[in-house]
Amino acid sequence: MSGLCYVHPHLGAQCRKHQKRQVTIDLLQPEKSNVPGVWPKPLELSLVALRQTFVDLLDKERIDLGYISSATALFEFRSDHWPNACLARLSLADGKPISVAVGFDGRKAEVVAHDV
């Protein structure tokens, strides 16, 4: 998660201000994310930059953006503005789901899936 450091303090502060411990960012359309309240400019800019970083990563991996039907990052925060964990979920055009989680230390974590 270290590459997302610019997002964390702004996103965490906004969540803390509105007493939310989790927030989901839409990586394709950040403006549709469920971040509460009016977004301060630094948060807005960091989410736009996060989307661009995502698009750049897809490009480096030679994955066409049109092949991604949805892409989200769920952040869970501790009591401060730093995340406890992040879960990235992608849905591909062929229906294949991809989930990757990292803990507060940036190390890959196990994704536990269950039917709801």
Contacts of 50-54 with CB under 8 Å at 24 or more apart are 50/4, 50/7, 50/25, 51/27, 53/3, 54/27
Q: Taking the model in full, what pTM does it have?
A: 0.82
What confidence score (pLDDT) does residue 41 get? Answer: 93
Q: What's the pLDDT at 105?
A: 77
User: What is the rounded radius of gyration, in angstroms, for the C-alpha atoms of the chain?
Assistant: 14
Q: What is the pLDDT of residue 111?
A: 62
Longest CA–CA separation in the chain, Å: 39
C-alpha span between 107 and 75 (Å, rounded): 15
Residue 111 DSSP class = P
pLDDT score at 114: 42
Mean pLDDT per block of 10 residues along the chain (116 residues) reads 65 89 92 91 91 92 92 84 82 90 79 50
Instruction: Give the pLDDT of residue 69.
Output: 94
